[in-house]
């Protein structure tokens, strides 16, 4: 694998446009639950059943209890070496974009600025009635109310069954279509629309790289597959990059 790492480093050091997609595997290395396997339940509820607009409509207090628990848990997590390496990669590569499926805010905390949070952020709240929206890392009440109109606030994330934030997908597709190197990190590439991004990049001529703890269903289609902890592999990729 070391030979492949060196070849990918050479690609990153060549002034090419680089787009990186990250998923839950990156956050898992910071202790953020993935809600798969042994982490698959919260108080006997499947998180996928709570992260839905109809669940919020039926029982907003339960949904907010879940999200306040997640905020408290993730607030104790810190960016890991993978987050830090991606922030460093941005500083070395002028034409760089990071797209994340994660909502924990750890990329921004690590210093990433050329960043698209496809599914929003746990630290954003928005009103269910008016246009009020803000970042809020303070402890929230059980049923937080909008300071502008008094209606209930909701987490500023994209739930199952909801469209992405307007314009986000269009920008992501445009950037991936013009990428020369596309790196998928810590994602199984099974959730649409992100699951199609590697193929989109490949169809437009990009070199595709997978960084994941274990092989995925897309491994055989990637130009490079680097398997292991992202926190080990990504720091190697940025070591020695020119500015």
Domain ranges of the chain: 2-32+79-119+164-238, 33-76+121-157
Structural fold of domain 2-32+79-119+164-238: Rossmann fold (3.40.50)
Find the catalytic residue in 45, 92, 107, 119.
119
User: pLDDT value at position 42?
Assistant: 73
Q: Which residues pair with 184 in a beta bridge?
A: 21, 210
Q: How many CB atoms lie within 10 A of CB 101?
A: 18
- In angstroms, the CA 52 to CA 153 distance is 15
User: pLDDT value at position 36?
Assistant: 52
Question: Under CATH, to which class is 33-76+121-157 assigned?
Answer: alpha beta
- In angstroms, the CA 187 to CA 165 distance is 21
User: pLDDT value at position 35?
Assistant: 61
Q: Which residues of the chain have pLDDT under 70?
A: 34-41, 243
User: pLDDT value at position 188?
Assistant: 85
- In angstroms, the CA 199 to CA 63 distance is 35
33-76+121-157 has the same fold as 2-32+79-119+164-238 = no
- In angstroms, the CA 135 to CA 170 distance is 24
Alpha helices in 97-148 (DSSP H): 106-110
User: pLDDT value at position 177?
Assistant: 98
- 215 and 228 in contact (C-beta within 8 Å)? no
User: Is 0.85 surpassed by the pTM of this model?
Assistant: yes
Q: Any catalytic annotation for residue 119?
A: yes
């Amino acid at each position: 694998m070391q030979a492949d790492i060196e070849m990918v480093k050479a690609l990153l050091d060549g002034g090419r446009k680089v787009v990186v997609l990250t998923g839950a595997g990156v956050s898992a290395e910071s202790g953020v639950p993935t809600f798969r396997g042994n982490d698959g339940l919260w108080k006997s509820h499947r998180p996928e059943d709570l992260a839905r607009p109809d669940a919020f409509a039926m029982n907003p207090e339960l949904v907010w209890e879940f999200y306040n628990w997640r905020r408290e848990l993730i607030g104790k997590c810190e960016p890991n070496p993978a987050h830090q390496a991606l922030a460093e990669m941005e500083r070395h590569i002028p034409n760089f974009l990071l797209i994340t499926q994660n909502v924990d805010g750890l990329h921004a905390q690590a210093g990433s600025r050329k960043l698209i949070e496809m599914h929003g952020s746990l630290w954003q709240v928005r009103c269910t009635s008016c246009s009020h929206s803000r970042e809020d890392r303070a402890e929230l009440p059980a049923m937080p109310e909008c300071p502008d109109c008094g209606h209930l606030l909701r987490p500023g994330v994209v739930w199952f069954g909801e469209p992405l934030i307007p314009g986000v997908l269009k920008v992501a597709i445009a950037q991936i279509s013009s990428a020369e190197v596309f790196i998928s990190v810590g994602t199984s590439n099974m959730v649409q629309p992100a699951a199609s991004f590697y193929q989109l990049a490949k169809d437009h001529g990009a070199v595709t790289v997978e960084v994941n703890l274990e092989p995925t269903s897309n491994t055989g289609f990637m130009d490079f597959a680097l398997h292991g902890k992202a926190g080990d592999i990504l720091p190697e990729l940025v070591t020695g990059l020119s500015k």
